[in-house]
Structure 1
C-alpha cells in the first residue's frame, strides 16, 4: 500500500485507532472517508476535519453496509483502499452460558461477519482499480490469548486466517491484502484502557504504523515493534511464557 494518493474508506473510525489513522492518512495526501453509526460523531469529525468525508454505517447490519457502499462509491468512484476497522471487545466469563453467549455472538457479528460483509460489498469495485488494498485489522491477541476476552481473541484469529486466505485468492488481481496487527493501544475498546500504563499510546502507535506503511509498501502484515512479543511467541518457542506474562500484566492483560 502506498502512503499517499489513495482514496480510503475506514468504517468504524469515529474514535480510537480508526479516527487517528484517518487523520494521519489525510495529512499524508489521501482522500479519506470515515464511517460510523453515530451521526453526531460524524458531524463533529466533519466540522473538526473539513477534508475528511463521512458516511453513516453500522457494520453489524448487512443492509447498512450495502447502503453505505453505494453512497461511498457514488461519491468516490476512485476508491482504492478499504480498511475494515470496526470492532468490539468484551470481557466474558465462560463458566455459564447466560454470562457470555450474547456477548460472544455480538463480537463475532461485528468482528468477523462485519469485515466479511464489507469486503463483499467492495471487492468487485476494488478489482477494477489499477492498484487497490484491503486492510484487515486483527490483533496481537490473534496469536496469544487474553483469558478475559475469549470471543475477541477467536474473532481476531479468524481475521488473521481470513487475511492469509483471501490474499492467496486475490493474488491474480490488483488487490493487495494487508493485515494490521495492533497490540493493546490506549483507546476506549475496554473500560479503563485509555489510561492503562500497559497499553501503547495512540499517537505513538499510529505514527509507527504510518512509518511502516511508508517504509514497507509491499508488507503483508503491519506490526509495530510492541506487538511482536505476542505475534511470534510460538515461533520463538516461548509461547507459554508469553501467555503467562500477558495474563499476569493486569486484570485485562493490557
Structure 2
C-alpha cells in the first residue's frame, strides 16, 4: 500500500509506538491525528510534532469514542487509516483483593477500546477507496505473561478479534493488519524493570518496531512480527510448555507472595 497522502488516526499517540507511528507517518507526507487521555502530554507532543492534530479522548469510554468519531469525520473526512494503539499493562497478583471494576481496566482499554473504535469508524472506512485498520497486539498474545494476567488476556483477545475481523472484511477495500509487538523500551514496561527475570537488553527500541511495521504495511502484510515476536511465534508452537515456564519466572516472588 502507499503510505503517503493518507489521513491517519492513532489512539494513544503521545508516547511509545503511537508517538513513533505519528512521527514516521508525518515524515512520509500523511495527515496524522492522535488521541490521548492526558491534555498535558498531548500539548507536549504537539510541541514536538507541530503538524500533528491532537484530540483528548479515552478509548475505555464509549461516549468519548462516539464524540471522537463525530469530530474526526467532520474535520477530517478523508480519514482512511485507523491505528488502535492505546494500551495499559499492569502487574497484578491475583492472590490480592481487587476492586472488580478496576480489575478489568486493561480489558476496557486494550480490547473493548479497539473493538468499539472499529465498530464506530467502520461505516466511514468502508466508503474510502483504500483503508487500513491496524491493531497493535503483543508477543504476549502468543503466550501469557503470568505477572500481567489481565493484559495477557486482553492482547490475546485482540489478536483473535483481529483475525476474525480480517475474514469478515475480506470482500471490502479495508486491509486489516496486526502488529505483534515484542517487548519494547516504552513507558509500558517501566514498572517491570526491577522484577526478577526482567532483561532490559531484550527490549527493542520502539522506533525500530515501528520502522518494521511501516515496511510491513508497504508490503501489504497481514501480520507483522518484529524482532523477538517472530521467535515467540515459533517457540510457542513447538515448545509451549518451555516458553510458559520461562514466562512464569519473571516476577515470581511478586506473584506467589501471600499464597
TM-score where L is the length of structure 1: 0.90
Distance 2:89 2:64 in 1: 21
CA offsets per residue over residues 68-120 of structure 1, 9 Å max, x none?
11111111100000011111111111224x14744431111111111111111
Instruction: Give the match for residue 203 of structure 1.
Output: 207
Cα shift at 1:199: 1.4
Distance 2:111 2:213 in 1: 23
Instruction: Give the match for residue 225 of structure 1.
Output: 227
Instruction: Give the match for residue 22 of structure 1.
Output: 22
Whether 1:137 aligns to 2:136 is: yes
Distance 1:32 1:114 in 2: 20
Instruction: Give the match for residue 241 of structure 2.
Output: 240
Unaligned runs of 5+ in 1: none
Q: Please, which moves more after superposition, 185-194 or 63-72?
A: 185-194
Whether 1:183 aligns to 2:187 is: no
Distance 1:100 1:3 in 2: 44
The 5 Å alignment of 1:92-131 reads 92-96=92-96, 98-99=97-98, 101-131=100-130
Give secondary structure in 1 for the equivalent of 2:201. Answer: coil
Whether 1:46 aligns to 2:46 is: yes
Instruction: Give the match for residue 90 of structure 2.
Output: 90
Give secondary structure in 1 for the equivalent of 2:188. Answer: coil
Q: How many residues align?
A: 247
TM-score where L is the length of structure 2: 0.89
Give secondary structure in 2 for the equivalent of 1:157. Answer: helix
Over the aligned positions, Cα root-mean-square deviation in angstroms equals 1.9
Whether 1:65 aligns to 2:60 is: no
CA offsets per residue over residues 133-169 of structure 1, 9 Å max, x none?
1111111001111110111111111111101111111
Q: Is the 8 A contact 1:16 1:202 kept in 2?
A: yes
Give secondary structure in 1 for the equivalent of 2:202. Answer: coil
Evaluate the alpha carbon distance shift between residue 196 and residue 103 of structure 1 in structure 2; reply closer, same or farther with a 3 A threshold.
farther
Evaluate the alpha carbon distance shift between residue 144 and residue 247 of structure 1 in structure 2; reply closer, same or farther with a 3 A threshold.
same
